[in-house]
Amino acid sequence: MEAQVRLVEGDTDEQPEGLGSFASRSAQVDGAMLQHAATRLIEEARTRAANLWDLPVDEIEWSDGAVHPAHDGSAATGLGDLVKSTGPLRVEERYEASMAFPFGAHAAVAEVDPELGTVNVLRLVAVDDCGVVLNPMVVRGQAFGSAVQGIGQALYEGMTFDDAGVPQLANGFLDYLLPTFTEVPPIDIKDTRTPGPGTPLGAKGAGESGCIGTPAAIVNAVADALRIADPGLLQMPLTPDSVWRAAQAPKHEEGVR
């Protein structure tokens, strides 16, 4: 079937309107649109076949890329032959889908040296719900990659500004730090699957989960380890200097949280 599908993209003659890929639209909106378009094509193919064979539409079935009379799979006709007999098969329709938003829970175990201000993330657990999973390998990779990005947000990545508010751009990765393999702890990726209610496909966004949950989990773990009375002293990125200064601040009284 892959050889029978031709993807046309970036052609304004074929698709005069487009919003782009953002805000987790690819699977839940575009995917649902493709599902809807395929369903409409199947309906049109069944109608064409019914007219061709002088049968009611409800007696035409679709399976394995072909149409055939009910209870007679041997008379199946592929789309190519149907098009040759009845003309180009095309449907046009505007499709709109409502958005659905994923949810989940992230937890982090961190070790803090209060004398040096260093933070060592020992373990991350990310449990996310992105609805119906279309490609488990891709979704797992997105969850893992965004969790690593979340580590960078929490501990390393920061942009400084001068007194005039002008960004002081880093000259390279020696100035703008990113987590490397050495800084990435074991990450347990889990999921729950609650179908999104906005489309028949039931998919939600998956790519940003770790960027949202992981930084908060790491900062909370550091605040818990230091037992500081004012967690607001910890501002990302948690550089050794900022962690050391927070470690010198007043602590929670014993037994009071």
pLDDT for position 47: 93
Cα separation, 196 vs 204, in Å, equals: 6
Task: Write out pLDDT tens, residues 92-108.
Answer: 877 777 778 889 999 99
88 and 122 Cβ atoms separated by less than 8 Å: no
pLDDT for position 255: 45
CATH 3.30.365.10 domain span(s) along the chain: 20-97, 103-247
pTM: 0.77
* CATH number given to 103-247: 3.30.365.10
Task: Write out pLDDT tens, residues 5-16.
Answer: 777 777 777 766
pLDDT for position 16: 65
Per-residue pLDDT of the chain (257 residues; tens, 9 = 90+): 456 677 777 777 776 666 666 677 778 888 888 888 889 999 999 999 999 888 999 999 998 888 999 877 677 888 888 888 888 888 887 777 777 888 999 999 999 999 999 999 999 999 999 999 988 999 999 999 999 999 999 999 888 788 888 777 767 777 788 899 999 999 999 999 999 888 888 888 887 888 999 999 999 999 999 998 888 888 899 999 999 999 988 776 654 44
176 and 170 Cβ atoms separated by less than 8 Å: yes
* CATH number given to 20-97: 3.30.365.10
C-alpha gyration radius of the chain: 27
